Amino acid sequence: GRLFPPLKAELREAGCDVRLSCPVLGATRQGSQFVLSTPEGEIDADGIVLALPGPEIEQLLGSIGGAAVQGFADIAYASVAVVTFAFAPGTDAAGTDAGLEGWSGVLVPRVQGALMTAATFLSAKWPWMTAGADAAPGPLVRVSAGRFGDDRIAALSDSEIIRRLLGELPVYAGMPKVPVGFHLHRWDQAFPQYTPGY
């Protein structure tokens, strides 16, 4: 949220045509250029940088064909759920009870069998998140669940994911179990696996 407005302004000052809410519906090649179809008409481009899931890249560039398009649909993805827990002011954001004072987070290895894959002490990693008028009143901790080959989160309700992660938070990150608020977001098939050839 802080990066995009100044980036947009700087790009426009440099003469770039910045279009928002203008999805690319298709792409073709004409000589050395690409022609992008959008709801606002066609755009000619010297090159394309894509930030899309593999299957969508293959679908978008299917008419171009060739080596540039092959293999994207074969990229494997994992689904993840991310819960941000807000704690009361004065709660230790860096889990000192677990000996993690000054740390920005922890990773939980697969061999632990936990639902939790990571916890990030947002307040320790980015102190501005709990400082200033627009900041959260107390520490924020972001907890992730889901990894490739572990689809347990798909079978769990949002409330069950939150309950399970709250139970694991004291074990792996030293945080108390009682947040004052939380927000869960699921990212289905959103985490590409960086296997050889990716």
**pTM of the full structure:** 0.74
| Residue-level pLDDT at 133 | 56
15-19, 89-93, 169-173: segment of lowest average pLDDT? 89-93
pLDDT of residue 6: 95
The span from the CA of 55 to the CA of 98, in Å, is 42
pLDDT level of residue 174 (50, 70, 90 thresholds): confident
Name which of 57, 56, 13, 8 is nearest 48 in CA terms. Answer: 57
pLDDT tens for 71-129 read: 787 888 999 999 999 888 777 655 445 555 677 889 999 999 999 999 998 877 887 77
**What does the pLDDT look like over 24-43, one tens digit per residue?**
998 888 988 999 999 999 99
Quote the CA–CA distance of 150 and 152 in Å, as a whole number. Answer: 6
